[in-house]
Structure 1
Amino acid sequence: MLDLTHESFYREHHSWLTSWLRGRLGQCSDRAADFAQDTFMRILQAGSQPPELLQPRSYLATIARGLLVDHFRRQDQERAYLAELALLPEALQPSPEERAILLETIFTIDRMLEGLGPKVRQAFLLAQLEGRDYASIAAELGVSVSSVKKYMQKAILQCLMCL
């Protein structure tokens, strides 16, 4: 439920944020409205009053920008996944339900590895998804086997912390 502080913050900035988002989404009003709502929901889910800000629009733009980045990254992952599936023979194609589960798993793994460096992420994915040994990963990444071991420790720790 909105209290007066949230409600006034919403009323004061919603129109501006929707317009700002429309400019970044190619004038798509519906998507801009959805992202604006998601932005304000993030603030509500934080469970506190909207912060007293000198530049509230900058604050809103930062939250909205993060939502856009997440959205476009998910789209890229989905496109890459579907492109790989297209290479499979029809008999090996997963069902729509399996596709949805696999895509959600990919998104979950991506969130778990968020914030790790590219080599750490790549080492982890090569080991876990392709079953590669540390020596071949080290050769591909141009690092030592001990670096790969450190990367794996870091990635596994990150995954455990997310669980």
Structure 2
Amino acid sequence: MPSSALETLYREQQPWLRSWLQRRVGCPAQAADLAQDTFFKLLLKPREFPSSNDARAFLTTVAKGLYIDQWRRKQVEQAWLEAQAQHSLVDDVSALQQATILDALVLLDKALSQLPEDVSEAFIRSQLQGYSYAELAREMKLCERTIKRYVAKALAHCTLLIEP
């Protein structure tokens, strides 16, 4: 997409997208940020649109995805803050370490959300909560071999998403 076409698309669609987002998120600043991020994604991966409706459909899909990612990040951040408070971790972790941990948790959450629920549950409970495969097999009413396969699948999936 030539820069002039992108500029025209931005000029024509950005006010509409910002307004559309504001009705959904209720915050003008957040709507403006999401609209900018949506067009930034388009700038990184340009494409042509046969019509204004096609452009709007694409922009709303991208904006919804960005909003969901933002919402999930806030959920993960809130859980991290609660865990810090419960375990008195605030004094032991620098701001940079907290940001790095939060980024890793968001990435892990995104990776696990792409897996079937049983697979992500087995992974979380074995790797983060310390359950043995035998304990999980009993509680989830599955054989231990299936639990091992689930955890291996989750590890492989997370590794593929993290590796450049």
TM-score range, shorter chain: 0.7 to 0.9
- What amino acid sits opposite 2:64 in the alignment? R
- What amino acid sits opposite 1:73 in the alignment? R
Deviates more, 1:36-45 or 1:116-125: 116-125
TM-score (norm 2): 0.86
Segments of 5+ residues of structure 1 without an aligned counterpart are none
In structure 1, the residue matched to 2:60 is 61
**Shift in CA distance, 157/51, structure 1 to aligned 2, threshold 3 Å:** farther
Q: Distance in 2 between matches of 1:92 and 1:39?
A: 37
In structure 2, the residue matched to 1:135 is 134
Q: Distance in 2 between matches of 1:111 and 1:146?
A: 25
Answer whether contact 2:84 2:90 (CA < 8 A) is retained: no
Answer whether contact 1:124 1:155 (CA < 8 A) is retained: yes
Give the superposition deviation at 1:5.
1.2
In structure 1, the residue matched to 2:94 is 95
> What are the within-5 Å matches in structure 2 for residues 1-163 of structure 1?
3-26=3-26, 28-46=27-45, 48-53=46-51, 54-89=53-88, 93-162=92-161, 163=163
Give the superposition deviation at 1:154.
1.6
**Shift in CA distance, 147/5, structure 1 to aligned 2, threshold 3 Å:** same
Q: Distance in 1 between matches of 2:138 and 2:91?
A: 32
Answer whether contact 1:113 1:121 (CA < 8 A) is retained: yes
Give the superposition deviation at 1:3.
0.7
Segments of 5+ residues of structure 2 without an aligned counterpart are none
Give the superposition deviation at 1:96.
2.6
Deviations 1:111-137 (A, max 9, x none): 333411122112112222233221112
Deviations 1:45-99 (A, max 9, x none): 11x3333345321221111001000100010111111111111247864233322
Give the superposition deviation at 1:16.
0.6
* Residue-pair matches, total: 161
Q: Distance in 2 between matches of 1:42 and 1:90?
A: 36
Structure with more helix by fraction: 2
Answer whether contact 1:21 1:32 (CA < 8 A) is retained: yes
**Shift in CA distance, 152/36, structure 1 to aligned 2, threshold 3 Å:** same
**Shift in CA distance, 51/149, structure 1 to aligned 2, threshold 3 Å:** farther
TM-score (norm 1): 0.86
- What amino acid sits opposite 1:154 in the alignment? K
- What amino acid sits opposite 2:4 in the alignment? L
Answer whether contact 1:9 1:50 (CA < 8 A) is retained: no
